[in-house]
Structure 1
């Protein structure tokens, strides 16, 4: 006997429907194919036309709200207008940047992006590429100082503060590991220590030290072509915070990837060739590296039960992450 219809948490939508119901709203010509490319925090499809290729992103239901997505797209469109090297969204015939579709689990939002040229280099980053990335990030920060500040108070626009980066993250970790109270206690103690250190740094809350940040800066979110030209891919985590967090996020990921110290330093050198960091910002780097590490743990654990399964998050996962955190002495 049938048990009735089950609730859908996440569906994989048919590419043919995107051709018929979404792609027709864009000036891209005849679409010949729509292929599922990868899944994750959002589903990515490859759109192929007679003359070109595009990337179609389908945001997950309930992971990003409409205001946050709209904000991300406006930031990308602003940077496109200022000729910054980003993978930008295409505009529909009606001037909109996204399309709302009804999936079995509820509303989802769809955006069509240009197809970026180049290759992901991840841990193969060299000193020249690292330097160029640092320069590019600093230039983006400078341009974003001219982005409309009215968005800073809009509900739904991400604030890269300790409430989100630390408190929200530790809540996600605690929900997955309630049976490991000692480890959670260590995290909560670390949280308090980091907050106290950030407060003592007394970083300015005005530009250029504070402002709109990219959020998830790492070598997996950037492409290099054969001429070492950069294209940034992902602004999904963009929001307002201290710019030093963007630098620390790059360093945190690079350390975990075991990218050489010299290569990592070239990123900071490249950044400072465009905007010199203050003494307080330099002192804040090791603090925000730890913040970035906890934040990535938080994002991962918040995906458990929806994007990822529990099998990937055994006790060893947490112990390994905490061992790394302990190596970076407070």
Structure 2
């Protein structure tokens, strides 16, 4: 008999009482950044972490605060993220958030949340808005490809500080035994036939990724979450925010993460073509490398299916629901038809993404 699957991450209920408690803890910490407790706080997003905008009408200061989920990132992991941001800022490789230190120079503060310790960091507010689906998204993804190429080149060359530690986003962490974001088998609304399809898909993904390997030219430090919600456009400028999931993975996984929650949309091939074009303006990217992109897209889709199940209380998960799981199964069927190694061509994956058409 199949045992019920317990997600590794069980988030708290995001009700008004919880949010009020979180805001109170943050408000008490504001003086560490020279802000009065009367500063206006507004919740921006809540997912892995809670993000607030803090505006002080007296001084005019306007900061963004990220209150971390307990038990997800250690202090050393957060310090490592901030170290990479600082290095990128010094070299002006990408427009992104600048960490703001407290009055004592520390970048991380701790607040008490009903007995739990939460880490808090502050960032300079960046102007801009999320690019809309109806806009010329390929234009922005062309620029995003160039940004990715610059970040990848930096990651290969950067001498990381002693003690640098970030999560490793490989197959085991995503769909294997580590399950950083939970188990895809707990996908909302997943039935037995769908589970069988995803089980076979996971096997194919594992084999393809093992064949692709983790050579230094293919696997390293990446942003890992450049989806539309983490992009800001202002005039001709594209900024990238939220390095909270940055870690060690395949460089081309960055594109799969950039189309999170939209893998099934008909405009994805255009975004992929634009991203590749932009990447190639900065660094070479062989056609054989591009051919692996459908594998990473399917890998990310299954990871997000697990994330939705293990973060069911979050607004993002509630918006996706069971429909996302059903879409994952449909994409997996198409993926297997194109890329299953049993009885099919065992060559490189085709660059069509194995997408289901509707």
Q: CA deviation at 1:196?
A: 0.8
Q: Which runs of 5+ in 1 are unaligned?
A: 1-7
Distance in 2, matches of 1:309 and 1:119, equals: 18
CA shift in 2, pair 1:111/1:322, >3 Å: same
The equivalent of 2:304 in structure 1 is 296
Match of 2:12 among 9, 12, 20: 9
Residue correspondence of structure 1 range 1-330 to structure 2 within 5 A: 9=12, 11-12=18-19, 13=21, 15=23, 17-19=25-27, 21-26=28-33, 32-49=39-56, 50-83=59-92, 84-104=94-114, 106-123=116-133, 124-149=135-160, 154=165, 157-167=166-176, 168=179, 172-176=183-187, 180-201=191-212, 203=213, 205-207=215-217, 209-226=218-235, 228-251=236-259, 255-259=263-267, 261-304=269-312, 306-307=313-314, 316-328=323-335, 329-330=338-339
CA shift in 2, pair 1:258/1:264, >3 Å: same
Tell me the alpha carbon deviations over residues 37-61 of structure 1, each in whole angstroms, 9 at most, x when there is no partner.
Answer: 3322211211112223111111122
CA shift in 2, pair 1:179/1:90, >3 Å: closer
CA shift in 2, pair 1:254/1:275, >3 Å: farther
Q: Name the TM-score, length of structure 2 as normaliser.
A: 0.78
RMSD: 3.0
CA shift in 2, pair 1:67/1:184, >3 Å: farther
The equivalent of 1:3 in structure 2 is none
Q: Name the TM-score, length of structure 1 as normaliser.
A: 0.84
Contact 2:228 2:259 in 1 (8 A): no
Distance in 2, matches of 1:219 and 1:310, equals: 16
**Residue 119 of structure 1: SS of its match in structure 2?**
coil
Q: CA deviation at 1:245?
A: 0.8
**Residue 50 of structure 2: SS of its match in structure 1?**
strand
How many residue pairs get aligned? The number is: 316
CA shift in 2, pair 1:170/1:30, >3 Å: closer
Q: CA deviation at 1:308?
A: 6.3
Distance in 1, matches of 2:183 and 2:87, equals: 33
Tell me the alpha carbon deviations over residues 159-201 of structure 1, each in whole angstroms, 9 at most, x when there is no partner.
Answer: 0111112222795232356973332232222111111112223
Distance in 1, matches of 2:259 and 2:46, equals: 26
Q: Which runs of 5+ in 2 are unaligned?
A: 1-10, 340-358
Contact 1:54 1:114 in 2 (8 A): yes
Give the number of the structure whose residues are more often helix, by fraction.
1
